[in-house]
């Protein structure tokens, strides 16, 4: 509790106090108890950025769930020796710095990147046979699809690991019984596996959605002027605009939204436990 208070609650309380202050100089902030920063934060411009950030984070979470569930299921039913290597492959990205991984993705997606070079080579071979116009590189960077792809690329392991933890605890005799009773693989998956794995699904959704909502580096490097998310706006308030009170208000609105997500997950799990 001492370390939690000293290194988490106290700094958080300082930033929270800043959200009720105003600038009185280049480096001085007066804590006046004003709500002007929060009133500014809920203006249509910033609400639109909040909404866009929520949509991007939700889309990232859904894609990670759809892509990660089969992976977690495959790891669960893999032989023990193979399972260890598959889990290592999932956790391997955590051993590499996020900045390096993002620049590696830029090297793949840019106009002179590996994808465009490969497509250009294929187009050139086709051009030797057919009279086709020159290849025009695909614009895969500095737009919303690039940001979404980068978010999925970064956060997919956060979805796979909780799903695997939930699926690995399943009673496999229930799956065998469902198949023996003629339910079929798809019906068994939807009516047996998914309901039993729901706690892991909720955990995966939560720990994927929250970091994606507050993502800063991915939209900053992969996005364009219209692809910025709320974390980028907060960064500009602290570092460029030197408006710490307004940046603190935006930060705590994001934190309040996170608390709501955690409370909803806890409520759902409590209701499931009551049943």
DSSP per-residue letters across 125-191: HHHHHS--PPP-----SSSHHHHHHHHHHHHHHHHHHHHHHHHTTS-HHHHHHHHHTT--HHHHIII
In this prediction, the residues of the chain whose per-residue pLDDT falls under 70 are 128, 273-275
* Sequence spans of domains, the chain: 39-274
Alpha-carbon span 214 to 251, nearest angstrom: 9
Q: What's the confidence (pLDDT) of residue 274? A: 63
What is the structure's pLDDT at 126? 80
Give me the residue label for tokens 């997919």.
Answer: 156
pLDDT score for 268: 78
Which two structure tokens, joined as six digits, stand for 70? 């089969």
pLDDT of residue 154: 93
Q: What is the pLDDT of residue 275?
A: 63
Contact 165, 200 (CB under 8 A): yes
Given the candidates 2.30.40.10, 3.30.60.50, 3.30.479.10, 1.10.3720.10, the CATH classification of the domain at 39-274 is: 1.10.3720.10
């Amino acid at each position: 509790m001492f370390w939690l208070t000293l290194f988490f609650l106290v700094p958080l309380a300082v930033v929270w106090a800043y959200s009720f202050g105003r600038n009185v100089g280049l480096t001085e902030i007066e804590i006046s108890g004003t709500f002007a920063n929060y009133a500014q934060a809920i203006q249509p411009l910033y609400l639109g950025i909040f909404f866009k950030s929520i949509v991007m984070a939700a889309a990232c979470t859904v894609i990670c769930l759809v892509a990660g569930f089969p992976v977690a299921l495959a790891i669960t039913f893999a032989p023990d020796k193979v399972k260890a290597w598959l889990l290592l492959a999932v956790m391997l990205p955590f051993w590499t710095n996020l900045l390096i991984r993002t620049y590696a993705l830029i090297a793949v997606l840019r106009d002179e990147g590996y994808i465009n070079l490969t497509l250009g080579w294929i187009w050139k071979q086709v051009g030797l046979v057919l009279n086709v116009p020159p290849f025009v590189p695909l614009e895969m960077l500095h737009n919303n699809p690039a940001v979404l792809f980068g978010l999925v690329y970064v956060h997919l392991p956060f979805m796979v690991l909780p799903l695997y933890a939930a699926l690995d605890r399943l009673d496999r005799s229930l799956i065998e019984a469902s198949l023996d009773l003629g339910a079929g693989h798809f019906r068994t998956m939807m009516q047996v596996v998914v309901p039993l794995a729901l706690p892991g699904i909720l955990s995966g959704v939560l720990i994927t959605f929250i970091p994606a909502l507050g993502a800063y580096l991915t939209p900053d490097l992969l996005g364009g002027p219209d692809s910025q998310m709320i974390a980028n706006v907060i960064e500009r308030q602290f570092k460029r605009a030197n408006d710490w009170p307004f940046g603190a208000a935006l930060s705590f609105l994001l934190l309040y939204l996170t608390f709501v997500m955690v409370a909803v997950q806890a409520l759902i799990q409590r209701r499931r436990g009551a049943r």
